[in-house]
Amino acid sequence: MQIVELKKGIYWVGAIDWNVRDFHGYSTPFGTTYNAYLILDERNVLVDTVKAPFYLEMLGRISEIIDPSKIEIVVSNHVEADHSGSLPQIVEKIGNPIVITSERGKKGLEKYYQRSMNFKTVKTGDTLSIGHRTLTFVEAPMLHWPDSMFTYVNEDRVLLPNDAFGQHFASSQRFEDEVGDEVMRHAAKYYANILWPLAPLILKKVDEVVKMGIPIDMIGPSHGLIWRRDPSRIIQAYVEWSRGRMGRKILVIYDTMWGSTESMAKAILKGLIEEGAEARLLHLRSNHRSDIIAEMLEAKGILLGSPTLNNGMFPTMGDFLTYLRGLKPKGKVFGLFGSHGWGGGAVKEMRKILEQERFEIWEKGLEIQYLPDSEELKIALQFGKEFAHKVLNA
């Protein structure tokens, strides 16, 4: 195995999951990694572990560097099983190391694994000398679980923030500067699907870390590539996404039964483009919900279209709105359209869900019976133009 050293004495000892394609509802066409870090000092420290089936891969990497029994401390930044899944096994292997975690982390790990460990809990600002280095801990509740925390290696200026700043991306490279700009696409999808609802907390936490005055040379997240060349790039992107960075992008997200809603969607799209929007058409059965959410991140307007089925919206739209309501994107304007046979229902049902979530909705909707004729397609085109005008000039 190739040994990956971040800084002298700090190693990546995680695992690469090349084959995972669904990460609890999030599509991962490029797989992911579970990152764990080994710090060699007078007291050797392992920061985080990997998903349980990858325990031997992590152990193999550690064993190439040191005898695992020489690890004295394991830091558990986050309880979720993709990072703590191998904790019971590595604790067993090492032989009762100190396990450093937040107070909520301790409760979570005890409940998950139903066993006692040699816990030492920490709070924001607590430090631990491990010889030549000092570790500083920063609690990060709800980024993205209540137990989450960051570990910072003072002398090396390395931040290990667990899930924050990650990407679901498996590759043979470990550092973002070895891959290029593609990394931002994966980071944006990750932010949109995991961290978006926590935008206000992210802004607060970034502010808090800035006020702590800790310089950051490198960020080692728990998934994907390590930010080495310019870590401020991903911090700045998180700030901008959390503030709601938006361009001239408007999305048309739809499904269709016999092509009527699709004809409307394409006419609306034409209207959006004619009005100067950067518009995209996204069919719900051709695009995974998590990819559509990633597209939404920098969109200003969202048009949702559904045919009526059994007096309500199409099931794929129900699935999408269920996912969307949990992510609570702020600052978008929604518009609604749909087609029906003898009785409507889809637009009304979509509107009800959006109203419940207090999303901003354009009051004007568009509904057409059966197949839209040429006059109705002109109306749809005009509908798109008006929506773009409203959204882009807001």
Chain residues that interact with ligand FEO, rule: CB under 6 A = 78, 80, 82-83, 144-145, 163, 222-223
Contacts of 39 (CB under 8 A, 6+ apart): 9, 10, 11, 45, 46, 47, 130, 133, 135, 153
CB 70 → ligand FEO: shortest distance, Å?
Answer: 27
CB 141 → ligand FEO: shortest distance, Å?
Answer: 13
Determine the Cα–Cα distance for residues 130 and 127; give it in Å rounded to an integer: 10
What sign has the CA pseudo-torsion 319, 321, 325, 327? positive
CB-nearer residue toward ligand FEO: 21 or 243: 21
Q: Which of 348, 363, 359 is nearest to 317 (CA)?
A: 348
Q: Any idea which residues carry the catalytic annotation?
A: 24, 78, 80, 82, 144, 163, 190, 223
CB-nearer residue toward ligand FEO: 46 or 264: 46
- Token reading at 378: 């002109």
Quote the DSSP letter at residue 342.
S
Contacts of 139 (CB under 8 A, 6+ apart): 102, 122, 123, 124, 148, 149
Q: Which of 105, 103, 169, 158 is nearest to 136 (CA)?
A: 158
CB-nearer residue toward ligand FEO: 133 or 144: 144
Determine the Cα–Cα distance for residues 44 and 69; give it in Å rounded to an integer: 10
Secondary structure class of 56 (helix, strand, coil): helix
CB 140 → ligand FEO: shortest distance, Å?
Answer: 11
Q: Can you spell out the DSSP letters for 190-239?
A: HIIIIIGGGHHHHHHHHHHHHHHT---SEEEESSS-BB-S-THHHHHHHH
CB 144 → ligand FEO: shortest distance, Å?
Answer: 6
CB 358 → ligand FEO: shortest distance, Å?
Answer: 27
CB-nearer residue toward ligand FEO: 28 or 263: 28
Tell me the C-alpha to C-alpha distance, in Å, between residue 303 and each of 97, 98, 196, 272, 338: 54, 53, 20, 10, 10
**How buried is residue 111: exposed, middle or buried, by Cβ count under 10 Å (0-12/13-18/19+)?**
exposed
Quote the DSSP letter at residue 309.
B
- Token reading at 210: 């800035």
CB-nearer residue toward ligand FEO: 176 or 349: 176
CB 32 → ligand FEO: shortest distance, Å?
Answer: 8
CB-nearer residue toward ligand FEO: 160 or 380: 160
